[in-house]
Amino acid sequence: MGAHDGGVDSLDRQLEAIETSLLDGSYRPGPWGRFVDEAMRHPSAERRSAAERATRVSELLHRRRGRPEIRMAIGALIEVLAVGTGFVLVEMGRQPGGVVLLSGAILLIVALQPLVKTSVGLLLGFRFSGLYLRGVEPRTKLRYGTYLSATRRSRIAFHLAGTVGSPAGAAWAWQRAAAGASGTAVAAALFWALVAVQLMALLLGVIGRGRRLVRISSGGMVGREIRAALHCSP
């Protein structure tokens, strides 16, 4: 039996089963991950056919986790204001450094990543339903069908965009601080730590290890897409 046997009907059956279990409260983790893994091995036409239902099921899964979500327009405005505040604090803290500089750096690290990734995603044709917090990290909720339908090139570009925002925020604080200012070394350490985490996640994605870290990090998802391309998935 080939990986694509059953075509779009196979994807629809899996989505129907997941949706039913979510609605009746019997869902347990596993089926959605297996669906995603299999769907990415199907031709783009079959993925597009399943896109609408995949978005609906993804929204049900998201609501099941009980994460508060705000509208995309409001979330984007909050992110822009946070980034602007971060830049201002970094500039204010250039000379003395210390708490003011690092407060600006942290705001940039937290807010710049989703802003950059979402902006690139919109240009690539991805759509989003809102903004939510995963711990203290703001995340945008994808309308999953738009991601499922996308080409591998677009998916890689989208996840690459998610690797640059946080390191760029730390790098800005590091470079803008006056020589010898308090907090400069911390900003530099944050930059290198963020770069190292993304590179490690990318490597794990390429070699097929660290599944949890890969799924929650942009670098890991880039590595996963590269691994799939090397194994000739469509």
**Residues linked to residue 133 through DSSP beta bridges, in sequence order:** 138
Taking 60 as the threshold, does the pLDDT of residue 3 lie above it? no
Q: Identify which has the larger pLDDT, 2 or 157.
A: 157
| Cβ atoms of 202 and 227 closer than 8 Å | no
Mean pLDDT of 127-156: 90
Mean pLDDT of 89-117: 91
Share of the chain above pLDDT 70, in %: 96
Distance of CA 8 to the CA centre of its chain: 26
- Confidence (pLDDT) at 1: 39
Q: Is the model's pTM score more than 0.75?
A: yes
The beta strand positions in 112-227, using DSSP E, are 128-134, 137-142
Domain-wise residue ranges, the chain:
6-65, 67-230
